[in-house]
Structure 1
Amino acid sequence: MSETKHNAKKFEEVTISSQPVFQGKVISLQVDTVRLPNGETAQREIVKHPGAVAVLALKDDKMLVVEQYRKPLEKSQVEIPAGKLDPGEAPLEAAIRELEEETGYRAGTIRPICSFYTSPGFANEILHLFAAEELTKGEVRLDDDEFLECEALTLEQAQQYIREGRISDAKTITAVYAWQAYTLTGRF
């Protein structure tokens, strides 16, 4: 048995019951009662999410970002284009869709960088990060409840935005560091 499989069993929490609490448009919340490895029980509050994509879009040595208001933070954020997966939608399809919807650009090449869980302590959301290059102008198609502005940042500007807190979300910070590695090594 591999080390990973062994540790998974060693630390596994077996679900005894699951109680739905909320079903929304984007997320659902449930409270699970679990049996811990030591035989005791505990409750886990779990946010279920369909998954999402984000796109590091590079044009003329600049990264395309969007600025929009984020109600949970009560402030505007500068982020890379991103959005949730539609039911049955492949991450690559969603990345292509979100890039054009939010920035008005289409990618000549688009490839995966990595996938990661955003908050595994309480949510199952997985985010798929893509790199898009060879961009050509398409058409912005924002959702009815989306209000944002698109701009292009140099790597130095993006790093400055991180220091200033204008960029403070994990997906965009991850993208900036991936871009930095790409400029140094030619690989994501």
Structure 2
Amino acid sequence: GFSSVLIQATMSMPSRNNDNDSNNTEQSLSMVSAPGLEEAMRRKERLQRLRQRQLNPESAATVESVDTPAGIPVAPPVLPVFRNYKAETDHLAAGHLPAPDLVDVESRLGDQLKAAEPKPLLTADSDITAIAPKKPDWDLKRGAERRLAKLERRTQRAIAELLRERLKQQKDPESLVTAVNAAADQARMGSWQAAN
């Protein structure tokens, strides 16, 4: 293609000084006829100007004028904004952004960091029984207390009924008093054991 012909043409040229280089390039490229020849010449000229600017930094400050075809006015080039790149030329250095102001995160979030610190579960004055685990069946006992109270009344009635039957069979009044006292003691002991 065209690029391989252009590369071969530029490779075959002897290197001399920069002025003769451009003349030789024009002569060697004029021998090659291709549609992008003019574009290649403009690119070559731009590269030579860039090379001269790098070799002569004092002349880099002057901006070269670009020929416009048919007198069409050209808008001034838009300068890029540089954030992470330090421009080498002065006219591009105007587009350099100043360094950003960094915010001290620790001062802004200090209160939040202190609030997020974990607090100890036990202190010297805390009661160990407040955090002691409950028995595994505590919730079952809580729900069963109402039912057990109803059953306790039925149990007491049943005990009293059984005592009456025994007393009717014995027919001894003194044994009646001792049996009632024994049943009352037994009922008190049963309710005391259930509470503890």
TM-score range relative to shorter protein:
under 0.3
Bigger RCO (CA 8 Å, 6+ sep): 1
**Structure number having the greater helix percentage:** 2
TM-score using structure 2 length: 0.20
Bigger Rg, which one = 2
